[in-house]
Amino acid sequence: MDYLSQLENRSIYIIREAYSQFRNIALLWSIGKDSTTLLWIVRKAFFGEIPFPVIHIDTGYKFREIYTFRDRFVKEWNLDLVMSRNDAAIEKGMSKECGHLECCNELKTEALKKTLSERGYKALLLGIRRDEHGIRAKERYFSPRDASFSWDYQNQPAELWDYYASGDKSDHHLRVHPLLHWTEVDIWQYVKRENMPVVDLYFARDGRRYRSIGCEPCCEPVPSSAKNMRMIIRELEKSRIAERSGRAQDKEDPYTMQKLRSLGYM
Amino acid sequence: MKKNVIKLVFVGHVDHGKSTLIGRTLYETNSLPKEKYDEVKQISAELGKDAELAYLTDYLQEERERNITIDTTQIHFKTRKNNYVIIDAPGHVQFIKNMLSGASQAEAAVLLVDAQEGIKEQTRRHAYLIHLLGIENLIVVVNKMDLVGYDPDRFYEIKTDMIDFMHRLSLKPIHVIPTSARSGENITKTSSKMSWYGGPVFTDSLDHIKQNKQNPNAPFRFPVQDVFFKDDRNIVLGRVEVGSVERNQQLLVLPDGYNTSVREVVRYGEKRKSAQAGESIGIVLENHNDIKRGMVLTQQDQIPIVSDEVDGTIFWMDEDPLHRGDDLTLQCSTQVASCHLRAIEQRIDSSTLHILEENGKIIGPNEVGKVIFKLAKPIVFEPFSQVPELGRLVLRRGDSVYGAGIVNSVQQTASEKR
C-alpha cells in the first residue's frame, strides 16, 4: 500500500472509532486545507455522507474567500452546518488589538464553549497535525477536556497502539485528531491525488500565497510563485520556513500557543 | 512518490540525552525550519544557557524550565535513504505511561546510555518494555562520551553489559555506537576523537533497520468497529488487520460462530472486489444475525481461538497495585470484556527482571506480571507472537488505562464452540 493510502486508512479507522463510541459528535471545519481534508476523509469513511454536524467557528474576521468556499460546499456536499459565534464579544468590538491571546480565546474558544453547551457533543473531530507546531506534537489522537475546556497536558492518558480513550464519565468532551500523523506535504500530496477543492488563497498571486489561513487580520502571505498543487509540493520539499510563520498567534510569545491550547484552543 | 517511513522511538534513563540526540540529529540533517533554531537559541539565552537542542522537542514551558521531557512527541526527519518519524519518549519513571504511549507506535528503538552514569534503572526497564512491545530493531547509543574523555574501555564495558542484559531478553542490537550528542560526535560525521570505533555513525546506522513485513499468507482477521446503514444495506465497518478478503468469500462470524459470505467489499469512490491488510473498508454480508462492534470476521479455515480465559504478560502503570482477584475491563482490538484476575503466576521487577514472587498476590506500579484472566464472555485471541493485532491487551480500571500487555497463549475452554 502506498504511503498516502496508509495515512488515509489510519485516519478512517480513528474517525470510525470516535463515531462508533459516541454517535453525538461533530467536526470542526475551519475551511482550511487540513480540516477540509479531514472532512473529505470523513465522507470516504461513511461512503459519501457525513453522519454528524460540521461546526464553523465564525469570528467575523475570516477571509471573504473562506465564506464563499464554505457556502458552496455546504450545498454541494449536503453538510449539516452549525455556526459557532461569540456574538457578545463581536458586538463589543473584540479584535487583535485587544491582544492575540484574548482575541483568539474569546472569538474561537469561547464561541465553541457556547456551541458545545447548547448541543452537548461528546467528541469533536479536529484537523490538527503534529508537524504544525511543537505543542500540537504533544497531542494524543483522543484527548480529553473538562467543562472549562482545559487541556491537562502534564497528565495525558496513556494511548497505546490503536486503543483510544473511551471517554471518562468526568470528561466534558474528547478532542479527536485523526490527521495528527500527517505532515503539510502529505496533505498537499493527498489534495492533489484526490483532486480535492481548497480555498484559492493557498495559490500564489502577485508573488505571494498563504500557507496557513484563518482570520484575515492575523494571517500574512509568504513570498511564493507556487500557482498550483504540484508547485506547492515542490516548494514545500525545499522550504525551510515554518508553515505557521504567517500566523500572528504563534509569534507573540513562544508559549502563546501553549497558553491558548491549555485554555481549550484548537 | 515512493517513500519509506520508519517510526523510531528514543528511550533510556532520564537525562541520558534522548532529546539532545534528537535535536542534534535534526540540526545536522537540516530537518527543521531555521526560525525554530532561532527560537531555541532565544529561549535558551533567556534561561541563561547555550543553545539547548533538546528544546526542539521539549516544547512545553515546564519541560524547558525543568530540563526534562514530560510527554512523548513526534517529529519527522530524513536521511538519504529513508524518511523517519522520531518519537521522543520521557525517561523519568513518573512518565512511563507517556513513554509507552510513544513506544507502542514504533517499529524500531534507539536506546541511550550515558557513558559516565552507565546502565541505570530505566535503561533496563525501557529495554524490557521494548521487548514486550515486540520491537526487534534496536540501536544502542552510548552517549556523553565527551564526559569520559572518549575512552574506548568505558565504551566496551558498557557495550558488553548492555549486550549481556539484552541477551536475557532475546534482543540483539543492530549497532552499539559511541556518541556525544552535545558536541556532535558520530552523529552524522565520523568522529576524529573516537578513531578506535570502526562502526557506522548514528544516522547511517538507522538505514540498517529492517521494516517488518506482514506475512502475505496470514489468515483473514477483521474486528468489527461498527455497522453503518446506507442505501438499504448494513455495511460492516472495520480494518483488515491481517490477510485479505474478496467478494463471495465464505466467512465465519466469531465469537457466535455462524457462517456467512461476502456480498460486497465497499470503499467510497472505488469499485472493489477485494481488500488487503491495513485497509479500512466496509463489508456487506449475505446474512448477519445482529452483527455488532466487538465481533470478528475470519476465514473459515485457520480460525483463531475463542476463549474466556487467557494467559498474558502485563505491565501495570497505576500507583494503586493490581491485586489477584481484581475485576478489570480488558480490551483486545475492538473487543471489550469484563475480566477477573484469576492468577499472578509470576511478579517481575521490570528493571532487574528478578522474579519477585511466584503465585503472587499483587503487581505493583511499573511491575510486570505473568497472569491468567478469566473473562465474563469468550472473545477472539491470538498469541502476540503470531498475530500481534489480536494479541495486544489494554486493561482499564474504571475508565482509565492502567495496564497493557500481550497474549502469551490462550486456553481452549468449554464455552468455545468449535
User: Which DSSP string corresponds to A163-216?
Assistant: ------TT-SEEEE-TTTT--HHHHHHHHHHHT----GGGS-BTTEE-SS-SBG
Q: Which of B101, B222, B276, B334 to mutate to test the interface with A (most CBs of A within 10 A)?
A: B101
- Quick check: helix, strand or coil at residue B69? coil
Q: List, for residues B103-135, the tens digit of each pLDDT value.
A: 999 999 999 999 999 999 999 999 999 999 999
Q: Which residue on chain B is closest to A1 by alpha carbon?
A: B278
Q: Look at the alpha carbons of A100, A103, A105, A107 in this order and tell me if their dihedral is positive or negative.
A: negative
Q: Which of B356, B332, B343 is nearest to B405 (CA)?
A: B332
Query: What proportion of chain B, given as a percentage, has pLDDT over 70?
Result: 97
Q: Determine whether the interchain pair B35/A157 forms a contact, defined as Cβ–Cβ distance below 8 Å.
A: no
Nearest-neighbour CA in chain A from B282: distance (Å): 9
Which residues from B are below 8 Å from A19, CB to CB? Answer: 226
Q: What are phi and psi of B407, to 5 degrees?
A: -85, 125
Classify domain B5-206 at the CATH topology level: Rossmann fold (3.40.50)
| DSSP bridge partners of A27 | A54, A125
Nearest-neighbour CA in chain B from A107: distance (Å): 25
Nearest-neighbour CA in chain A from B355: distance (Å): 26
Q: What are phi and psi of B103, to 5 degrees?
A: -65, -30
Nearest-neighbour CA in chain A from B63: distance (Å): 10
Picking from B35, B57, B76, the nearest residue to A245 by CB comes out as B35
Q: Which of B377, B381, B401, B379 is nearest to B392 (CA)?
A: B381
Which residues, 6+ apart, have CB-to-CB distance to B153 below 8 Å? none
Q: Which residue on chain A is closest to B61 by alpha carbon?
A: A255
**CA B418, CA B415: separation in Å to the nearest integer?**
9
Q: Determine whether the interchain pair A43/B268 forms a contact, defined as Cβ–Cβ distance below 8 Å.
A: yes
Q: Determine whether the interchain pair A16/B280 forms a contact, defined as Cβ–Cβ distance below 8 Å.
A: yes
Q: Which of B379, B25, B8, B18 is nearest to B201 (CA)?
A: B25
> Is residue B41 less than 8 Å (CB to CB) from chain A?
no
Nearest-neighbour CA in chain B from A234: distance (Å): 12
Which residues from A are below 8 Å from B395, CB to CB? Answer: none
Please give the domain boundaries of chain A with CATH numbers for all domains: 3-182+253-262 (3.40.50.620), 184-250 (no CATH)
Domain range B221-299, its CATH number among 2.40.30.10, 3.40.50.720, 3.40.50.150, 3.40.630.30: 2.40.30.10
Q: What is the pLDDT of residue B120?
A: 96
Write the burial class of residue B220 (CB in 10 Å: 0-12 exposed, 13-18 middle, 19+ buried).
Answer: buried
**Which residues of chain B register pLDDT less than 50?**
1, 414-418
Which residues from A are below 8 Å from B39, CB to CB? Answer: 254
Which residues, 6+ apart, have CB-to-CB distance to A149 below 8 Å? A109, A112, A113, A172, A263, A264
* CA distances in angstroms from B33 to A57, A164, A186, B39, B76, listed in the order given: 30, 32, 17, 10, 12
Q: What is the pLDDT of residue A133?
A: 85
Q: What are phi and psi of B227, to 5 degrees?
A: -125, 130
Cα of first residue to Cα of last residue in chain B, in angstroms, is: 47
Rg value, chain B, Cα: 24
Enter the CATH code of domain B305-410.
2.40.30.10
> Is residue B319 less than 8 Å (CB to CB) from chain A?
no
Cβ atoms of residues A160 and B101 within 8 Å:
yes
Q: Determine whether the interchain pair A157/B225 forms a contact, defined as Cβ–Cβ distance below 8 Å.
A: no
**CA B118, CA B132: separation in Å to the nearest integer?**
23
Q: What are phi and psi of A14, to 5 degrees?
A: -65, -45
Antiparallel, parallel or unpaired: β A81-84 and A54-57: parallel
Picking from A3, A130, A154, the nearest residue to B5 by CB comes out as A3
Looking at residue B388, what DSSP letter applies? G
Q: Which residue on chain A is closest to B98 by alpha carbon?
A: A158
> Is residue B318 less than 8 Å (CB to CB) from chain A?
no
Residue B134 — left, alpha, or beta (φ > 0 → left; ψ -120 to 50 → alpha)?
Answer: left
> Is residue B85 less than 8 Å (CB to CB) from chain A?
yes
Picking from A17, A154, A160, the nearest residue to B401 by CB comes out as A160
Q: What is the pLDDT of residue B3?
A: 64
Which residues from B are below 8 Å from A1, CB to CB? Answer: 276, 278-279
Q: Cite the residue boundaries of each domain of chain B with CATH code 3.40.50.300.
A: 5-206
Which residues from B are below 8 Å from A245, CB to CB? Answer: 33, 35
Which residues from A are below 8 Å from B42, CB to CB? Answer: 254
User: Which DSSP string corresponds to A122-163?
Assistant: SEEE----GGG-TTGGG--SEEEE-TT----TTSPPP--TT-
Q: What is the pLDDT of residue B251?
A: 97
**Which residues of chain A register pLDDT less than 70?**
167-170, 251-252
Helix (H) or strand (E) holding B345: strand B335-349
Picking from A6, A46, A161, the nearest residue to B278 by CB comes out as A6
Q: Cite the residue boundaries of each domain of chain B with CATH code 2.40.30.10.
A: 221-299, 305-410
Which residues from B are below 8 Å from A255, CB to CB? Answer: 61
**CA A56, CA A38: separation in Å to the nearest integer?**
14
- Please tell me the pTM assigned to this model: 0.95
| DSSP bridge partners of B396 | B329, B401
ipTM: 0.94
> Is residue B276 less than 8 Å (CB to CB) from chain A?
yes
